[in-house]
Amino acid sequence: MKIGLVGCGHVGAASAYACILRGVGTEMILVDCSKSFAIAQAEDMLHATPFSNPIPVHGTDDFKALEGAGIVMIAAGVAQKEGETRLDLLKRNAAVFENIIPKILDVSKDAILLIATNPLDVMTQLATHIAKQSHGLPSSKVIGSGTILDTARFRALLAEHLGVSSHSVHAHVLGEHGDSEVLHWSGANVSNINIYDFATQVNAPITNEIKEQIDNNVRNAAYKIIKGKGATWFGIGAGMARIAQAIIDNEYAVICCSTLTKEVTGVKNVCLSLPRIISEKGIENTIFPELSSEEEEKITKSANIISSAVNEILH
C-alpha cells in the first residue's frame, strides 16, 4: 500500500522512517510546503533502504503525488514550545488542517488519515469534521495516534519495575493525549494476572509511591523530553508506523488511539483514546474497558476538556 506523509519535520520524518525500517507500505511519498526539504528528507531515508526494506521514497510539495495512497499521515503544523500545553497549540494549527485536508482528499478520497499533530485529540476531531464536510469521509477513517505512545510509556515503566518484558504487560492510558490522560491501573495485568497480584509474586509491590512515580513519568514525559531536546519524535514515529501496519495487514489489532466517539461516560461526540479494533477499513470497533469510579470521573473530566477545546474552534 502506498503511504503519504504531509509535514516532514521531526515527527513526520520519524513516522516515515519507522515505516521504512518496519517494512510498512510499498511506497512512501513525503509532502512538505518546502519542496527542497521534502526531497532532502526523502533522499536521506532512501539511502537507509539497503539496510532495511527496499521501499521507494519520494519528496515533493505537490499534493497530487498522494494520488492512490491508502494511508496519509499528517504531521503538519507548528511545533510545541517548552512549557506550552498541547491545547495551547489549537488555534495555531487549525488553519493548517483547513488548508491541507481537502487537498489530500481531492487526490486520494478513500485514504485513511492518521493524525499526529498536537493538540492531538482536538486536531483529530477537527480533521474528522473537515474531511466529512469536504469529502464525506467517515469518522472511522480518521485516526489520531492518541495515547498509543503514552500507553507504550506506561507499559515500559511497569515492565521496568516488575522486571519483565514490556511485551508481556497489558495496560492502557485512556482519554486525552495530554495533561488529563488517565492511566488505567484497574485494568492493568501481566499475562492475564492482575498487576498488583503479579507485583506481589515477583516481590516488586506497587505502592502508592510507585504509582505516583510511574504516573508522573508517563504524564510528564513529553515535557521532560521537550526541555532536553526541543521536541519528541522517535516514540510517536514508531507508534504511527504501528497503526499503519495494523491497517495494511488487516490485523484487527486492538490499539489505544483516538477517533470520534459517540459517547463516553455521558460526554457525546468527542475524540479521545480508548482501545480500538483496527483493520484495513480503519476503526472497526471501540472497546469500553471497565473503570473504577475514580477512573470514570477522570475520563469524564478529560473528555470535557477536549470537548470544550473543540467547541472553541468549531462553534
E strands in the chain: 2-6, 27-31, 57-60, 71-74, 112-115, 142-144, 169-170, 173-174, 182-183, 189-190, 193-194, 253-264, 267-279, 282-286
Please give the biggest Cα pair distance in the chain.
58
Across the strands, what pairs with 282? 279
Give 3-state DSSP helix, strand, coil % of the chain, rounded to 5: 50, 20, 30
Contact 284, 159 (CB under 8 A): no
- Rg of the chain's alpha carbons, rounded to an integer? 19
What positions carry a catalytic annotation?
Answer: 177
> Position of cell 497503526?
243
For residues 98 and 126, what is the distance between their CA atoms, to the nearest angstrom?
Answer: 9
For residues 286 and 276, what is the distance between their CA atoms, to the nearest angstrom?
Answer: 5
> Position of cell 505516583?
212
For residues 306 and 258, what is the distance between their CA atoms, to the nearest angstrom?
Answer: 12
Contact residues for 131 (Cβ-Cβ < 8 A; gap 6+): 101, 105, 113, 137, 141, 142
The DSSP-derived string for 274-286 is EEEEEETTEEEEE
The three-class DSSP label of residue 31 is: strand
For residues 314 and 311, what is the distance between their CA atoms, to the nearest angstrom?
Answer: 5
Query: 85-119 b/e with 16+ CB inside 10 Å = b?
Result: ebbebbeebbebbeebbebbbebbeebbbbbbbbb
